[in-house]
Amino acid sequence: MKRALLAVALLPLLVPRPATAETARRFALVAGANHGPADRVSLRYAISDAEGFANVVQRLGGVTPADCVLLRDPSRAGFLAALGALRGRVMAARADAARTEVILYYSGHADEQGLLLGREVISYRDLRTAMSDLAADVSIAVLDACASGAITRLKGGQVHPAFLSDVSTQTQGYAFLTSSSETEAAQESERIHSSYFTHALLSGLRGAADANADGRITLNEAYQFAFAETLALTTPTQGGAQHPAYDIKMSGTGDVVITDVRQTTAALLLGPELDGRFYVRDSKDQLVAELHKPAGRTVELGLDAGRYEVSYEQEAAFLGARVTIEPGQRRALMRQELSPRRRFSTRRRGLPEPGVPRLALNGRSRIETRFGLSEAHVAIDQTVVDAASVNVAGAQFAVAGLHWATEDLALELSVQGLDISTRVTHGEYSETNGVLAVLLGARYYAPVGERGAPLRPYIGLAAGPHTNFRNTVATSSLSVASSQDTQFTTTTNLGLRLSGGADVQLGRHATLGLYAGTSLCRGMRTRVGAGFSWGWAFGRGRVAD
């Protein structure tokens, strides 16, 4: 689970700048960290959220590619080094620009003490100090992380609704704005492939937050839109609603413009006659914008040129249209282009269906048994009883131990019997042969549906020694006292086991599954089989933040 924070710091210059220079320069430091401490579930979308934010501020936020630094899973030293280098660039730019601005974005793990980069911590106090040391005219820090609402506690921030709109917004000073308190949870969403807060914020910065339709998205507009959307999206979830808080001290008038939709070369226009919820997906089926549009207002969304699927939801209808936006085109969506579509197949967001347990797998272990067949038959020649024979071929079994290192990756150690066959000829001869394998490997559980869903398909790969054995017993009754001749032979080679299947969670501990697999080993024939599995899980799963 992720708790999301929007922290904005507006830090004024101690010495007023001369009014002769008119230029301004904006810098961005953007970081995404999927991996945190060992006891935290790895995030899925922190890095992709950071990449999306970097793209928006470069295209619409006045940040040139040369002035945007993107960090993926940085260390503490790497993050602080990037801040130090940014300070040097800001100081150098002050000589040529009348105004310097900095945007800092971080998506990843955090707790009540600070940002968690792997096993290392950057305290909120150190972060505030580093932001102050940048000495930019405007510094905006956006932190999307667990428990980072605690940063406002340093100055006494409290939970508030969105900014009041009937007073002048002050722009000199500082403001720390959080979209969750230090005790609230937030989620990443499989549906939107993002955190709820960053998804809402980026939709707003693309133009959905432009309340006065002037083409410019101000800090106040972006925050109010992100506040309302995040609250609406998270209220029905398991993590619960997120309520923004802020610590603010500002002077002056006006508001900071974060993005300007008029800078984009392509846009989608939603006219005043359209009233409902819109979903805009790109050619890769990624949800790039989501908003509720009231009637009587025109919304312009800044997008890249390309093909998009636009869905339009009302209480009584679900419509859609496929549109192509050419470079330099401001493409208006017409009401007559929309045609009926099937609604998305979804569950109640974040809530379990009745009777279906929803458990995180990460950190849990399981003992599993499997039994299956690759070939089986019984043949009895009843015409000659003394020569009757029974053949049972292709039995497979396994005992395995699994441990989930992440929500989608399980490590597996197993002992498997493959293609165990027995042939018995009454009174004369019996033979048992097959393969015993000790395998070490891993399973990847495909992220189908929401985390904790009861059905989890997987693919697996394991390797280890395969021992081919044969045990024959021949009985001789030529003499008065019958005798037996027993021979046991083995050969061992290294082999691979490829498998796939699906687990169905029956309760907190029990699972039932189907599997199929094939073994590849030098000197042995390929063996393919399928069957059932039964497992018993234990341990406490760690829920993603």
* pLDDT tens per residue, range 227-239: 888 888 777 666 6
Region at 230 (left for phi over 0; alpha for psi -120 to 50; beta for the rest): alpha
**Is residue 5 situated within a structural domain?**
no
Total domains in the chain come to: 3
Two structure tokens written together for 241? 């609603």
Q: What is the DSSP letter of 9?
A: B
Strands (E), 303-388: 306-313, 318-325, 330-333, 339-340, 365-373
Which 3 state secondary structure label does DSSP give 84?
helix
Q: 218, 243, 260 — which closes off a domain?
A: 260
Pairwise CA distance, residues 10 & 250, whole Å = 8
Q: 235, 260, 285 — which closes off a domain?
A: 260
Pairwise CA distance, residues 366 & 374, whole Å = 25
Cα separation values, 280 from 112, 123, 287, 311, 317, Å: 35, 38, 6, 6, 17
Q: Do 417 and 435 touch, CB atoms closer than 8 A? A: yes
Per-residue H/E/C for 262-323 = HHCCCEEEECCCCCEEEEEECCCCCEEEEEEECCCCCEEEECCCEEEEEEEECCCCEEEEEE
Cα separation values, 399 from 33, 229, 475, Å: 37, 48, 34
Pairwise CA distance, residues 406 & 389, whole Å = 50
**Is residue 350 situated within a structural domain?**
no
H or E stretch including 423? Answer: strand 409-425
Q: Quote the pLDDT of residue 79.
A: 95
Q: Are residues 254 and 272 in the same domain?
A: no
Residues pairing with 516 in the sheet: 500, 530
Q: Do 198 and 107 touch, CB atoms closer than 8 A? A: yes
Two structure tokens written together for 305? 């040129």
Radius of gyration of the chain (CA): 31
| Total-model pTM | 0.60
**Is residue 16 situated within a structural domain?**
no
Q: Are residues 133 and 276 in the same domain?
A: no
**Is residue 388 situated within a structural domain?**
yes
Measured in residues, the chain has a length of 545
Q: Are residues 334 and 375 in the same domain?
A: no
Q: Are residues 49 and 172 in the same domain?
A: yes
Max alpha carbon distance in the chain (Å)? 122
**Is residue 382 situated within a structural domain?**
yes
Q: Are residues 79 and 227 in the same domain?
A: yes
CATH number at residue 191: 3.40.50.1460
- Percent helix, strand, coil in the chain, to 5, is 15, 45, 40
Q: 211, 226, 260 — which closes off a domain?
A: 260
Q: Are residues 32 and 62 in the same domain?
A: yes
Q: Quote the pLDDT of residue 244.
A: 61
Q: Are residues 139 and 75 in the same domain?
A: yes
The alpha helices in 300-422, defined as continuous H runs, are none
Report DSSP letters for 471-524, one per residue: EEEEEE-SSSS-EEEEEEEEEEEEEEEEEEEEEEE-SSSEEEEEEEEEEEETTS
Q: Quote the pLDDT of residue 256.
A: 79
- Expressed as residue numbers, the domain containing 532 is 365-538
Cα separation values, 69 from 87, 344, 444, Å: 13, 37, 33
Q: Are residues 105 and 251 in the same domain?
A: yes
CATH number at residue 483: 2.40.160.20
Q: Are residues 253 and 321 in the same domain?
A: no
Cα separation values, 441 from 408, 476, 496, 537, 545, Å: 14, 46, 9, 18, 28
Going 143 to 144 to 145 to 147, the CA torsion angle's sign is positive
CATH number at residue 327: 2.60.40.1120
Q: Quote the pLDDT of residue 179.
A: 57
Pairwise CA distance, residues 518 & 530, whole Å = 9
Quick one: 534 exposed, middle or buried, by C-beta within 10 A (0-12, 13-18, 19+)? middle
Q: pLDDT 10s per residue in the chain (545 long)?
A: 444 444 444 443 333 344 333 467 899 999 999 888 877 778 888 999 999 999 999 999 989 999 999 999 999 999 999 999 999 999 998 887 667 888 999 998 888 888 889 889 999 889 888 988 988 888 888 888 765 555 555 544 443 333 222 333 335 456 566 656 666 655 667 777 888 888 999 999 999 999 888 889 988 888 888 888 888 877 766 666 766 666 655 555 667 788 998 877 789 999 998 888 899 988 888 889 888 888 888 899 999 889 998 988 876 678 888 899 988 888 988 888 888 876 544 333 233 333 333 456 777 899 999 988 875 444 444 444 444 444 445 678 889 999 988 878 999 999 988 777 777 666 566 778 788 889 999 999 887 655 556 788 999 999 999 888 888 877 665 444 555 677 888 888 898 999 999 998 887 788 999 999 888 888 777 778 888 999 998 876 554 43
**Is residue 184 situated within a structural domain?**
yes
Q: Are residues 107 and 154 in the same domain?
A: yes
The alpha helices in 16-116, defined as continuous H runs, are 46-59, 76-93
Per-residue H/E/C for 159-198 = ECCCCCCCCCCCCEEEEEEECCCCCCCCCEECCCCEEHHH
Q: Are residues 336 and 427 in the same domain?
A: no
Q: Do 196 and 130 touch, CB atoms closer than 8 A? A: no
**Is residue 491 situated within a structural domain?**
yes
Q: Are residues 96 and 222 in the same domain?
A: yes
**Is residue 2 situated within a structural domain?**
no
